Every structure is written in C-alpha cells, then in structure tokens.
C-alpha cells in the first residue's frame, strides 16, 4: 500500500475515533448531570415524605413549600418545625430513601433551634460492616428545628449508577489506545522496511561494479596462455569465475525481489513450454546431482504444458526449487511431475531430503528466512529463493503449496491457470 493512501486512511480513522470519543464523553457528562439531578429529586421526595409524617403526627396541615433545602451537593436540610423522636426518624429516613432506590449510606442529625445544636446524630450504613467515616454534619444556625442529612458516598453512588457508560468509555479508550499503538508499530515497521529496502538496493547496485570487474579480470586471466598451460592457476581462475557468477546471480535475485515488492518489475509475457524448461533445468543440474550420487525422475504427463509467462523468471523459479531439492538431500532423488488440473497445469518438484518442521512452514516463503540449523551453515544462501518463487507465482495468478514430512522430504506443488497444448 502506498504511503499517501495509508496516511490518508490513518488520518481519517483517527479523526473518526476522536469524534466518537468526543461524543462519548459528551454523553457521559450529560448522563452524570442527569444522575445528579435524579439523586437530588429522589432525596427531596424522601425527605418530604418524612417531614409530612412528622407534621401530621402533630396535627399540622400547614403548606410544605420550601421545607427542603440543599446548602451543599451532598447535604440536605428539612424543616420539621417539631423535634421528632430520634429513633423513629432514623427508621423513617432509611425506609423513605430506600423506597426511592437510593441505596447509599448517610448520616443525619436533629437540630434543636432553641439550643442551637444537634441534639442527636446517627450514621446509617448500607451494610453492618461499613464503619462511620467520621464526617461532621454542617451546623447551620436556623430559627427552626430541622433534620440535616449528609450523603458522604454520593459521588460513588452516582458513578455506580453510570456503570454502563463508564464501562463503554473504558472499552473505547482501550480500543483507541490499541489503535494508536498499532499505528505507531505499523509506521515504525514501514520505516524500517523502507530503510532495509534502500540499504539492499544500494548495496546490490554497489556490488555490481566490482563483480563485473572480477568477471572481466577472470576472463582475461583464463584467456592468457601462461594461465591456460598452468593447470593449477587455471583451476583457481575457474573457481574465481564460478564464485563471481554465483555472487552475481544472488545480487540479481535480491534486485528482482525488490522490484517485485515495489511493483516495478517488467515482465515479458510469452508462451512458455513448462516441459521444455524442466528438461533444460534437469540438463543443467545433471553433473551436480551425479556428484551427490543422485538422479532425476521425470513424470511429465500434462497434455497442456504451455503457459503465458516471462521465460527468464519462470526458469528461475524451477531452477530455485531444483537447486533446493539437491542442496538439502544427501543422495538426492528429485522427481518432476506435471498434470493438468481443470484449465491449468500443476507442477510437482519432490525430493527425498530432510523435510521441513511444521513450526517453520508458515515462515518458509518469507524474505531472508532460512530453516534454523544451529551453528551449522552447510548450505549457502540468503533465504531469497522461496520468497522469489512465491512472489513470481503470485504475479502469474498462480499458487505454490508445500507438502513435507520430516525425514522423508518435501514436495512443492505449483499451479498456473490457463494452460494450452504445446
């Protein structure tokens, strides 16, 4: 994905999440205010019913307007006019408050206007194990008798009533935090990937000039009569030439993989005979496999063996798979099999090597990955061959599938659609 598109998506999603969070906080704030208002209404209603009961007990039927006031957010006073029974009023208060579903502890006091003090105070908890926090009631100098009632846990009660909103807000915060961490890691990974690509591209381009110089110098050495007549020197020159060619192929493979990943690879599609490429690969590896006392087995039964592909790159992927099959087998028996499946062709490259453990299979086509062998590096390579196979197969809308059993070998099965007769 291009950086500009990724940046646009990230910015859009970020703005959307910020808007959602803003709306969420707005509704949390609004709900909190509504819960506060509802709490006050319920407490006012409960106190009013208690005051009515006290006055009616004294046969007082005067209007009740303005008998309840709220000097503080968590403190209410009720004008009782008369001094109520201390034990009875506690019971009435608790019953009235719970009838309005206000289940929280409170402390009340009976104020005697003539003595200018609370003549009775009591703490009523929601459970018998809840101790009195020791909060003092606010003493207000009034000309009438009143009941003062304090709710020390008012805020906690309101917050408990908002459980759903608080839970949803926490979840949303976790989602936004997770999104932020993911975006940071994504951009960090992309930055490291870009640095890696630039380094690899620069490195491989820098290698091309000295490799070409070594190849040219080796060719001059091998054409020298003095070198040709000296068997030992000619062998050394040949070794240098082979290693330079090997290094050139590895550098070229790195460049091709980089181009595939950047979608800048130019493919020249043309009819390619799969059987012809396989036979040519077998011919090229004949000496190599015989040196390891192995052999090839050909079972090319596909009637439709021609596909539209870039001949060079298709040859490379068959070459890579054959090379791996030989390298990772002590006495290699490499079987090439082809058969038509629906409208396409399947190509199987099977070996009798050591096989691949299950835990490494999902990483097998990852760039630079090689199956760990401890401190032993008997087989050379950069871990690019199978990644190259995967990328090019995808370019042709094909698939690559691995079947492997530890100790018995591996079988790579390629499938390409739209095959035609040779």
Identify whether residues 60 and 134 lie together within a single domain.
yes
- 197 and 147 assigned to the same domain: no
Residue 418: closest CA among 304, 314, 276, 294:
304
Which of 207, 235, 261 is at the close of a domain? 261
Question: What is the pLDDT, as a whole number, of residue 258?
Answer: 65
The pLDDT-based confidence of 376 (bands split at 50, 70, 90) is very low
Give the CA dihedral 20, 26, 32, 35, nearest 10 degrees. Answer: -90
The pLDDT tens digits of the residues spanning 63-76 come to 766 689 999 999 99
Give the per-residue pLDDT at 222.
83
Q: What are the structure tokens assigned to 345, written together?
A: 């062709």
* 243: Cβ contacts below 8 Å, ≥ 6 apart: none
Answer for the pair 68, 9: CB distance below 8 angstroms, yes or no. Answer: no
Tokens representing 306? 């021609």
Inside any domain, residue 168: no
Give tens-digit pLDDT for 266-287. Answer: 677 889 999 999 999 998 888 8
Comparing C-alpha atoms, which of 359, 363, 356, 364 is closest to residue 409?
356
User: Based on the domain organization, do 212 and 322 belong to the same domain?
Assistant: no
* Range of 125-134, 140-149, 365-374, 375-384 with top mean pLDDT: 140-149
- Lowest mean pLDDT: which of 59-68, 291-300, 390-399? 59-68
Spatial separation of the C-alpha atoms in residues 137 and 273, rounded to whole Å: 97
Shared domain for 154 and 80, answered yes or no, is yes
Last residue of a domain, one of 161, 185, 203: 161
Task: Answer yes or no: is 290 within a domain.
Answer: yes
Structural domain includes residue 369: yes
DSSP string for residues in 154-191? HHHHHHHHTHHHHHHHHHHHHHHHHHHHHHHHHHHHHH
End-of-domain residue from the set 237, 261, 285: 261
What's the Cα-to-Cα distance from 235 to each of 216, 222, 232, rounded to whole Å? 16, 9, 5
Q: Looking at the domain assignment, is residue 422 inside a domain?
A: no
Residues 324 and 407 in one domain: yes
Q: How many domains does the chain have?
A: 3
Higher pLDDT, 151 or 190: 151
If one counts every other C-beta atom within 10 angstroms of the C-beta of residue 231, the result is 9
Q: Look at the block and give the residue holding tokens 């800048």.
A: 264
Which residues lie closer than 8 Å to 184 by C-beta, 6 or more apart? none
Q: State the pLDDT confidence band at 60, using cuts at 50, 70 and 90.
A: confident
Looking from the CA of 355 toward its CB, the CA atoms found within 13 Å total 10
Task: Examine the domain organization and report whether 39 and 128 are in the same domain.
Answer: yes
Q: Which range scores top for mean pLDDT: 50-54, 58-62, 370-374?
A: 50-54
CA distance 142 to 112: 9
Give yes or no for residue 147 having a pLDDT over 90: yes
3-state DSSP helix/strand/coil % of the chain, to nearest 5:
55, 20, 30
Distance CA 230, CA 66 (A): 122
Q: Is the pLDDT of residue 164 over 90?
A: no
25 and 62 fall within a common domain: yes
pLDDT of residue 190: 77
The chain-wide mean pLDDT, for the chain, equals 84
Look at residue 274 and tell me if it is in a domain.
Answer: yes
Buried/exposed 390-420: b ≥16 CB within 10 Å, e otherwise: bbbbebbebebeeebeeeebbbbbbbbeebe
Mean pLDDT of 36-44: 93
Residue 106 shares a structural domain with residue 23: yes
Please state, for a pLDDT cut of 70, what percent of the chain lies above it: 88
Radius of gyration, CA atoms only, the chain: 43
Instruction: Evaluate whether 36 touches 158 at the Cβ level (below 8 Å).
Output: yes
Q: How confident is the model at residue 375 (pLDDT cuts 50, 70, 90)?
A: very low
Comparing 51-65, 253-267, 328-342, the range with the smallest average pLDDT is 253-267
> In Å, what is the CA distance from 127 to each residue of 35, 93, 104, 159, 322?
23, 16, 9, 19, 79
Residues 117 and 249 both lie in one domain = no
> Is there a domain that residue 177 lies in?
no
pLDDT score of 130: 65
Residues 292 and 397 in one domain: yes
Question: Whole domain around residue 332: which residue ranges?
Answer: 269-416
Q: Are 135 and 235 in the same domain?
A: no
Is 172 inside a domain boundary? no
What count of Cα atoms within 13 Å lies in the side-chain half-sphere of residue 260?
19
**Which range among 18-32, 81-95, 264-278, 314-328 shows the weakest confidence by mean pLDDT?**
264-278
Q: What is the pLDDT of residue 120?
A: 92
Query: pTM to 2 decimals?
Result: 0.50
Find out whether 390 and 274 touch, Cβ atoms under 8 Å.
no
Q: Does residue 176 fall inside a structural domain?
A: no
Residue 390 and residue 245 share a domain: no
Q: Are 330 and 378 in contact (CB under 8 A)?
A: no
- pLDDT score of 184: 81
């Amino acid at each position: 994905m291009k950086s500009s598109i990724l940046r646009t998506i990230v910015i859009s999603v970020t703005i959307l999440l910020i808007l959602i969070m803003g709306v969420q906080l707005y509704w949390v704030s609004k709900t909190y205010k509504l819960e506060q208002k509802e709490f006050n209404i319920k407490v006012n209603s409960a106190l009013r019913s208690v005051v009515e009961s006290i006055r009616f007990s004294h046969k007082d039927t005067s209007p009740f307007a303005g008998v309840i006031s709220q000097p503080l957010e968590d403190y209410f006073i009720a004008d009782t006019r008369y001094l109520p029974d201390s034990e009875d009023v506690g019971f009435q208060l608790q019953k009235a408050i719970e009838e309005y579903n206000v289940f929280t502890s409170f402390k009340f006091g009976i104020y005697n206007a003539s003595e200018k003090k609370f003549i009775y105070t009591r703490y009523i908890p929601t459970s018998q194990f809840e101790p009195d926090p020791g909060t003092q009631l606010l003493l207000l100098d009034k000309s009438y008798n009143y009941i003062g009632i304090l709710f020390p846990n008012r805020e906690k009660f309101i917050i408990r009533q908002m459980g759903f909103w608080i839970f949803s807000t926490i979840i949303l915060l976790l989602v936004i935090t997770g999104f932020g961490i993911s975006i940071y890691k994504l951009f960090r990974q992309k930055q490291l990937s870009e640095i890696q690509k630039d380094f690899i591209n620069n490195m491989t381009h820098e290698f091309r000039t000295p490799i070409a110089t070594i190849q040219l110098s080796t060719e001059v050495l091998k054409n020298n009569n003095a070198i040709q007549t000296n068997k030992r020197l000619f062998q050394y020159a040949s070794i240098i030439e082979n290693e330079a060619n090997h290094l050139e192929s590895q550098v070229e493979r790195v460049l091709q993989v980089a181009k595939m990943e950047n979608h800048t690879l130019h493919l020249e599609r043309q009819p390619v005979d799969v059987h012809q490429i396989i036979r040519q690969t077998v011919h090229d590896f004949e000496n190599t496999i015989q040196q390891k006392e192995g052999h090839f087995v050909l079972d090319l039964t596909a009637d439709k063996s021609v596909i539209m592909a870039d001949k060079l790159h298709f040859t490379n992927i068959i070459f890579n798979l054959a090379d791996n099959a030989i390298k990772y087998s002590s006495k290699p028996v490499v079987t090439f099999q082809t058969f038509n499946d629906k409208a396409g062709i399947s190509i199987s490259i099977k070996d009798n090597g050591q096989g691949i453990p299950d835990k490494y299979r999902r990483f097998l086509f990852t760039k630079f990955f090689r199956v760990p062998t401890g401190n032993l590096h008997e087989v050379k390579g950069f871990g690019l061959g199978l990644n190259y196979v995967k990328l090019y197969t995808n370019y042709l809308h094909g698939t690559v599938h691995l079947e492997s059993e530890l100790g018995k070998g591996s079988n790579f099965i390629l499938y390409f659609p739209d095959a035609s007769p040779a």
